[in-house]
Structure 1
C-alpha cells in the first residue's frame, strides 16, 4: 500500500503538470492508479478532491491572469447545468455521451497543422451568449461524465488567451463545478475513509504541482503550448474512444457478423441485418413483434401461427421503396419463408 501511495503522490504531481500544460487529462493518468487502491464507485470522489484543490491552488498562483469576462459568463450557466447532468446520470448511459466527446476531441486533428495566426481569435469577436452556451455545456457534460478539462480546452485556445490566462481562467471556471460534485458524491454515499485520505494525498500533490508549474510555463512558447493542448485532446479522444467502445460492446452486447452477402449487427437484444444483392440492392432487416405488423398482415400472421411451431418476423427497408415484411415459419425444423 505504501508503494502505491508514493506512486500516486508523484504520479499526481506529474499528471497535473501535464494538465496545466495540455489543458487537462490528469485523470487519464490517475484513474488506473486509483483503481488499484479503491472500488470504482469511490474513485471519482478522490479524483474530485484533487481537481478541486488543484483549481484552488492554481487560482492562488495565477489569480492576476484570470479573464473575468469569461468567468462571469461561464460560471452562472455551468452551475445549474452540472446539477441537471448529475441528476440525469440515473437515466442516461454516460458511455454514449463519452463516445460523442471522443469524436469531438479527435476532430481537433486539423488544428495540429494550422498556423498560429489561424488559431488565434480575438475574444471580442465572439458574442457573450457563446460564453453562456459553453458554460452550460461544460457543466452538463461534467455532471454526467465527471470530466470537462480537455473537451473545452479548444474553447479557451480559440479565444486567444495566453497560456497563463488559460490555466487561471479554467481553474476559476471549474472550481465551483468540482465543489458541487463533491457535495453530490457525499450525499449519494459515494465515498469512503480510504478514498478521503487518498484524495487528501492527491490534494497535497496538486498544490505542489500548481506552485511549481509556474516555473515551467515560461519555457514554453505560445505556439508550442497550443500544439501540446490540441495534441493532448486528440490523444485523449483516441484513448476515450477505445475504452468507451469496449464498454459499450460488453454492456450492450454489440457485435458484427459477416457471412456471404449479409452483415448482422447485434445491439442489446436486437439484430440488424444488412444484406446486399445485385438484384435487390442494399437491404436493412430488423426483427419485429407481431404487434408492429400492419393490420392486413396481422390477419395473415394469425392464420399462419396455428400451422407452424415458430414464426419470426422481419421488417425490410430498401432505398426509395416502402418497407416490406418477411415471415420465417418453422415446422419440424423446416423453414418456409413468406414475403409481403
Structure 2
C-alpha cells in the first residue's frame, strides 16, 4: 500500500516535520498518525524512531545556539531511561487504551495553560524529572512523547530557540535508546529501510521551512501555537484512535 501512495506519504511527512518544528516538540506527534494510515503500528514505531533520529540531528544543527544543559540533564536522563522501559512494554500493552489516556491528558493540560495564562510551573528538578519520565514512557509505548515534553517546556516559558534546541537534544537520546529496543523487538522491517534516506531529506526540508515560519513569530505567539497544537493532538488522539 505504501509504495502506491509514496508521494502522499512524503508530502504528509514534510507537513508533520514543519508542524513539529514550529511546535518545538518534534514531528512524531504528527508523523505517527500519518504513518498509521500506511503501516502496521509496530512498523510505525520502528520507522518513526529512525525518522526522528534524522529530524533531531537536523534541528540541533539549525538551533544549536539555544541549548539549556541543565534542563537536558534533568528532563533528558529520566526520559532516556523510561523510554527503554516503555519500548519494552510496547510488546504487551494495548496502545489504543493508552492513546485515549494520552489524549485526555493533553487536552486537560493544554486547556489549563491556555485559560490560566499567568500560571507558571516552577522550574524545579522535580517537575523536570516528572516531565521526562512521562514523555519517555509515552515515546516508548506510543511512538511519541514530544507533546508531554512540549507541555513541560512550554510551562517553563523558555524562549523558542532554547525550547527547540533543548527538546531536540533530549529527543535524540530518547530516539537512539528506543531504536535499539525496537530493533530487538523486531520492529525494523528491512523492506522499509529504503524510506530512511527519503525521510532524512524530509527532515531537512521540513525543519528549514519551520524555521522560516518561526522567524516571523513573537515569543507569545510561539507559546500559544505550542499549546494549540498540543490541544489538537489530544483531540485527534481520541477521535481517530
Q: TM-score, normalised by structure 2?
A: 0.87
Change (3 A) 1:182 1:162: same
Change (3 A) 1:221 1:119: farther
Give the Å deviation of 1:139.
1.3
Change (3 A) 1:33 1:230: closer
Change (3 A) 1:113 1:32: closer
Give the Å deviation of 1:174.
0.8
Change (3 A) 1:234 1:5: same
What does residue 51 of structure 1 align with? Answer: 52
Greater gyration radius: 1
What does residue 64 of structure 2 align with? Answer: 63
Q: Distance in 1 between matches of 2:152 and 2:220?
A: 16
8 Å CA contact retained: 1:78, 1:135? yes
8 Å CA contact retained: 2:29, 2:145? no
Match of 1:149 among 146, 149, 155: 146
8 Å CA contact retained: 1:79, 1:176? yes
Give the Å deviation of 1:47.
1.8
Change (3 A) 1:60 1:227: same
Q: Distance in 2 between matches of 1:14 and 1:150?
A: 17
Q: Distance in 2 between matches of 1:92 and 1:175?
A: 24
Could you give the per-residue CA deviations for residues 86-114 of structure 1, whole angstroms, max 9, x where no partner exists?
22234433333222211111112243344
Match of 1:111 among 110, 113, 116: 113
Which structure shows the bigger proportion of residues in strand conformation? 1
8 Å CA contact retained: 1:81, 1:140? yes
Match of 2:130 among 129, 133, 137: 133
Q: Distance in 2 between matches of 1:31 and 1:73?
A: 26
Aligned residue pairs total 239
Give the Å deviation of 1:165.
1.2
8 Å CA contact retained: 1:119, 1:157? no
What does residue 291 of structure 1 align with? Answer: none
8 Å CA contact retained: 2:13, 2:34? no
What does residue 19 of structure 2 align with? Answer: 18
SS of residue paired to 1:61: helix
Q: Distance in 1 between matches of 2:95 and 2:187?
A: 17
SS of residue paired to 2:148: coil
8 Å CA contact retained: 2:14, 2:206? yes
Pairwise CA RMSD of aligned residues? Answer: 2.3
Q: Distance in 2 between matches of 1:178 and 1:6?
A: 25
Which structure shows the bigger proportion of residues in helix conformation? 2
Tell whether 2:220 aligns with 1:223: yes
Give the Å deviation of 1:173.
0.7
Q: Distance in 2 between matches of 1:83 and 1:114?
A: 34
What does residue 179 of structure 1 align with? Answer: 176
What does residue 157 of structure 2 align with? Answer: 160
8 Å CA contact retained: 1:16, 1:206? yes
Could you give the per-residue CA deviations for residues 4-38 of structure 1, whole angstroms, max 9, x where no partner exists?
32333332222111111123474465446534554
